[in-house]
């Protein structure tokens, strides 16, 4: 049987990476992570081929023109991210399920292409105010950057109704459990 796609999107600061990391690390499910391509620079600790395929602007453009992407988006001005066909097709054919951590437009696009073979999960904060306190609590961003992130979060939240399933991350353990349950029942579905 062919594998399935699990699409996960969320505004930044909603704990998406933590939730995905936990579920993948449990190691109890046949899940492979779809490594995206991007033209942004690696952050400290990020490895090519593990976190992303880090491409130059030219390489990214050339792979767009050769049709190598299932989808790609300019998620931030000048910063492109895309899902490579090669990354998902062979895994799907050999029956592995694939987790895609992609932005809202990419998520809706992939769901449209794959229909019932994909589930789209949206992780959301309990409220915009809760997200603001969380970002302020991290102490890593200036007030201007926080307001920018909030503005973007509001835009991203407007896509939530297009997702198959919404998980509110109020309590991390609960959000992990709920996400895992959604994934398990989707994988078990014939
Ligand atoms: P970051 O630069 O923080 O790793 O990721 C920024 C955003 O890009 C996140 O919302 C992430 O989900 C999104 N993203 C990562 N890979 C892809 C991709 O292949 N396609 C799309 N559309 N978005 C992606």
**Which of 18, 68, 78, 101 for mutating ligand 1's site (highest number of atoms within 8 Å of CB)?**
101
Query: What span, in angstroms and rounded, lies between the C-alpha atoms of 46 and 43?
Result: 6
| 3-state SS track over the chain | CCCCEEEEECCCCCCHHHHHHHHHHHCCCCEEECCEEECCCCCCCCCECCCEEECCHHHHHHHHHCCCEEEEEEEECCEEEEEEHHHHHHHHHCCCEEEEECCHHHHHHHHHHHHHHEEEEEEECCCHHHHHHHHHHHCCCCHHHHHHHHHHHHHHHCCHHHCCEEEECCCHHHHHHHHHHHHHHHHHCC
19 neighbors 31 (Cβ within 8 angstroms): no
What are the residue boundaries of the structural domains of the chain, listed by start?
5-188
pLDDT per position as a tens digit, 124-146: 999 999 999 988 998 888 999 99
Residues with CB under 6 A from ligand 1: 36, 40, 71, 73, 75, 81-83, 101-103, 106
Closest atom, ligand 1, to C-alpha of 79: 2
Q: pLDDT value at position 140?
A: 86
For domain 5-188, the CATH class is alpha beta
Is residue 12 very low, low, confident or very high in pLDDT (cuts 50, 70, 90)?
confident
Whether pLDDT at 173 is above 90: yes
Q: Give 72's strand partners.
A: 82
- Nearest CA owner, ligand 1 atom 9: 103
> Can you give the pLDDT at residue 139?
86
Residue 138 pLDDT: 86
pLDDT digits (tens, 9 = 90+) for 59-114: 999 999 999 999 999 999 999 999 999 999 989 999 999 999 999 999 999 999 99
Which are the contacts of 30, defined by CB distance < 8 A and separation ≥ 6? 3, 95, 96, 97, 187
Among protein residues, the one with the nearest Cα to ligand 1's atom 20 is 82
């Amino acid at each position: 049987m062919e594998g399935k796609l699990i699409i996960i999107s969320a505004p930044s600061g909603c704990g998406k990476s933590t939730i995905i990391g936990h579920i993948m690390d449990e190691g109890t499910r046949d899940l492979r992570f779809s490594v995206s391509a991007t033209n942004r620079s690696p952050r400290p600790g990020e490895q090519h081929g593990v976190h992303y395929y880090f491409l130059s602007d030219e390489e990214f453009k050339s792979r767009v023109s050769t049709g190598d992407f299932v989808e790609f988006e300019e998620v931030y001005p000048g910063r492109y991210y895309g899902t490579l066909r090669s990354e998902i097709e062979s895994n799907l054919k050999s029956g592995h399920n694939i987790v895609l951590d992609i932005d809202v437009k990419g998520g809706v696009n992939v769901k449209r292409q794959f229909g019932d073979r994909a589930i789209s999960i949206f992780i959301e904060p309990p409220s915009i105010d809760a997200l603001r306190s969380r970002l302020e609590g991290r102490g890593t961003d200036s007030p201007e950057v926080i307001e920018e992130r909030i503005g973007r979060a509001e835009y991203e939240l407007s896509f939530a109704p297009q997702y198959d399933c919404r998980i509110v991350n109020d309590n991390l353990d609960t959000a992990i459990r709920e996400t895992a349950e959604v994934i398990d029942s989707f994988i078990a579905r014939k």
